Amino acid sequence: MSAADVRTSPSRRGLVVRELHELRELESANTLFEKIWGSAPGSSPMGVEQMRALSHAGNFVAGAFDDGHMVGASVGFFAAPAGEALHSHVTGALPGHQAGLALKLHQREWALARGLQRITWTYDPLVRRNAHFNLTKLGGRPVEYLTSFYGAMDDVINGGDDTDRALIAWELNEEAAIAASAAGSVPVAVPDGAVTALSVRDGLPVVGPRDAATLLVEVPPDIEGLRRTDPGAAKAWRLALREVLGTLLAEGARVAGFHDRSSYVVTRDATA
């Protein structure tokens, strides 16, 4: 099976992922991004002109099609170190088609076919489903916390909140990525003695101790809903996660996985 025509499991026989080159397909991808992000016309996170240039220059621009209809798209470009990495700038998919996973698996095969070792991308570390997808379904790992990385964004997803992001490194030839690609997930074990460094109480963040070798960092069930209904609580969560997860990563701690669809599992030197 070639990277240019990756199909999913038999339950999704209509889903096909392939590279995009034609202008009309790039326009469809732009429209799809506007729909997913809830942005105004002309305010897509990746416009037609940029996709056209990136595609023509040999970068990664792909779409997922369910029975001929585009239901997802992804754009990435070669990154430093040269010849080793791809940065996946944007991936969006409509729910109910398994298109997000198919796009990432296609992207992995595309990168491996070109001798690349790593794919990076950013995501909002407060969104539980994204953390579960990136860490558990794909085997990626957050390696850096980026404060207000894109500045203020007023689309439906970000709701004007600070755009703090975690940078994922997906090491394509390492055990976690290989296991996730083969089995569909990589669960993480929580050892005895793990301490909760950030938890949810009455919808708000509660910061706990950080003096253990393994820490649990919980995120709220629905940060996007909080941004709409309680911006103050949403900001409190942003600041708390910045303090806890951001500080731990800056100190050299490692995120081992995402447990029970709710908490980062972070390992560190207990004497640090």
Report the pLDDT value the prediction gives residue 6, as an integer from 0 to 100: 37
Residue 179: pLDDT above 50? Answer: yes
Among 127, 155, 183, where does a domain finish? 183
- Give me the mean pLDDT over the 102-131 stretch: 98
Q: Are residues 173 and 204 in the same domain?
A: no
Residue 135, domain member (yes or no):
yes
Q: Are residues 104 and 59 in the same domain?
A: yes
Report the pLDDT value the prediction gives residue 79, as an integer from 0 to 100: 98
Report the pLDDT value the prediction gives residue 43, as an integer from 0 to 100: 86
Residue 190, domain member (yes or no):
no
Q: Are residues 213 and 132 in the same domain?
A: no
CA–CA gap between residue 219 and residue 74 (Å, rounded): 26
Residue 40: pLDDT above 70? Answer: yes
42: left (phi over 0), alpha (psi -120 to 50) or beta: left
Over residues 139-157, the pLDDT tens digits come to 999 999 999 999 865 555 5
Q: Are residues 156 and 215 in the same domain?
A: no
Over residues 55-75, the pLDDT tens digits come to 999 999 999 999 999 999 999
Report the pLDDT value the prediction gives residue 7, as an integer from 0 to 100: 36
Q: Are residues 223 and 257 in the same domain?
A: yes
Look at residues 31, 6, 96, 20 and name the one whose alpha carbon lies nearest to residue 59: 20
Query: What's the domain range around 130?
Result: 10-183
Report the pLDDT value the prediction gives residue 190, as an integer from 0 to 100: 97
Among 161, 183, 205, where does a domain finish? 183
Among 149, 183, 217, where does a domain finish? 183
Report the pLDDT value the prediction gives residue 269, as an integer from 0 to 100: 76
Helix 23-37, helix 48-56: angle, nearest 10: 130
Q: What is the number of domains present in the chain?
A: 2
Q: Are residues 237 and 159 in the same domain?
A: no
Over residues 81-102, the pLDDT tens digits come to 999 999 999 999 999 999 999 9
Residue 39: pLDDT above 70? Answer: yes
Residue 173, domain member (yes or no):
yes
Report the pLDDT value the prediction gives residue 102, as an integer from 0 to 100: 96
Residue 2: exposure state from Cβ atoms within 10 A (0-12, 13-18, ≥19) = exposed
Task: Assign residue 61 the CATH number of its domain.
Answer: 3.40.630.30
Residue 69, domain member (yes or no):
yes
Q: Are residues 214 and 164 in the same domain?
A: no
Report the pLDDT value the prediction gives residue 157, as an integer from 0 to 100: 55
Q: Are residues 127 and 249 in the same domain?
A: no
Q: Are residues 143 and 217 in the same domain?
A: no
Residue 74, domain member (yes or no):
yes
Residue 146, domain member (yes or no):
yes
Report the pLDDT value the prediction gives residue 249, as an integer from 0 to 100: 98
Q: Are residues 103 and 140 in the same domain?
A: yes
Report the pLDDT value the prediction gives residue 1, as an integer from 0 to 100: 24
Residue 257, domain member (yes or no):
yes
CA–CA gap between residue 268 and residue 217 (Å, rounded): 13
Query: Residues of the chain with pLDDT > 90: what percent?
Result: 86
Q: Are residues 213 and 250 in the same domain?
A: yes
Residue 9: pLDDT above 90? Answer: no
Over residues 209-264, the pLDDT tens digits come to 999 999 999 999 999 999 999 999 999 999 999 999 999 999 999 999 999 999 99
Residue 120, domain member (yes or no):
yes
Report the pLDDT value the prediction gives residue 153, as an integer from 0 to 100: 59
Q: Are residues 84 and 143 in the same domain?
A: yes
Report the pLDDT value the prediction gives residue 87, as an integer from 0 to 100: 98
Look at residues 26, 105, 58, 100 and name the one whose alpha carbon lies nearest to residue 34: 26
Report the pLDDT value the prediction gives residue 5, as an integer from 0 to 100: 34
Look at residues 136, 234, 149, 232 and name the one whose alpha carbon lies nearest to residue 185: 136
